[in-house]
Amino acid sequence: MIKTLENGFKQLNIPYDSRIESKFIKYLKLLKEWNQKINITSIEDDEEIYVKHFLDSILLLDGVSIDEKKSIIDVGTGGGFPGYPLKIVNNNYEVTLLDSLRKRIEFLTEVKKELEFDNIELIHGRAEDFGQNKNYREKFDICVSRAVAPLNVLSEYCLPFVKKGGYFAAYKSENISQEILSSENAVKKLGGKIREVKEINLPGTDIVRKIVIIEKCEPTNLKYPRKAGKPSKDPLV
């Protein structure tokens, strides 16, 4: 057993077994191979990948969510984080991964094949475009994102995908109290409400990860998300 992963799972009270370990080992191997060809992650050390990508991705899970059947979209997924690790732990999830770089989608396709995932959809494109697509708009129970953007911008990318009663989980690391305050009105415009901020210690580190949970209370106005580039250039206030 890989102690870093096993101990991390134990600390998070998430069941760990040989199937989970085997998939993470394959994932790590593919990640390192492809990282030589395209820029997927700046983290190259195995232990750091286990902690800062794999364990970090599953911080959202708890005793209830490890078996729940939900549809998830991961916006700006990059190397598949947090979508793929969440799928490894809970195979009941139906996961859609969205990224704007085609090469990353090629990598994620290879991971899907090698890890023998089912109920996975990979999309090459921008959140602003697919958030207006009727096949994806307000179709998901959960949206997740570790993308680096202010919360008001991320919310415009992500909340349109979430059905009423679902939620958007934004993975954050910095002191975000001011960011949350300044995003509340934008979130409300998008039909959401900030419900809680989970503060979780990342196993094996002194990092306190913060996950902002935004509930989808009302359908998002059809004018959101705005055209590609607009949310980041002219953020909602």
Q: What is the CATH number of the domain that holds 142?
A: 3.40.50.150
Beta pairing, strands 140-145 & 94-99: unpaired
Model confidence band, residue 168 (pLDDT cutoffs 50, 70, 90): very high
pLDDT beyond 60 at 217: yes
Model confidence band, residue 166 (pLDDT cutoffs 50, 70, 90): very high
Model confidence band, residue 1 (pLDDT cutoffs 50, 70, 90): low
Q: What 3-state DSSP class applies to 151?
A: helix
pLDDT beyond 80 at 178: yes
Give the chain's domain count.
1
**Kind plus residue range of the DSSP H or E element containing 52:** none
Query: How large a percentage of the chain has pLDDT more than 90?
Result: 94
Cβ atoms within 10 Å of 193's Cβ, excluding its own = 15
pLDDT beyond 90 at 219: yes
For residue 98, the enclosing domain spans 3-233
Model confidence band, residue 193 (pLDDT cutoffs 50, 70, 90): very high
The arithmetic mean of pLDDT across residues 62-82, rounded, is 94
* Chain segment 105-137, per-residue pLDDT in tens: 999 999 999 999 999 999 999 999 999 999 999
The whole-angstrom distance between residue 138's C-alpha and the CA centroid of its chain comes to 17
Phi and psi dihedrals of 221, rounded to 5?
-55, 140
pLDDT at 173: 85
Cβ atoms within 10 Å of 38's Cβ, excluding its own = 13
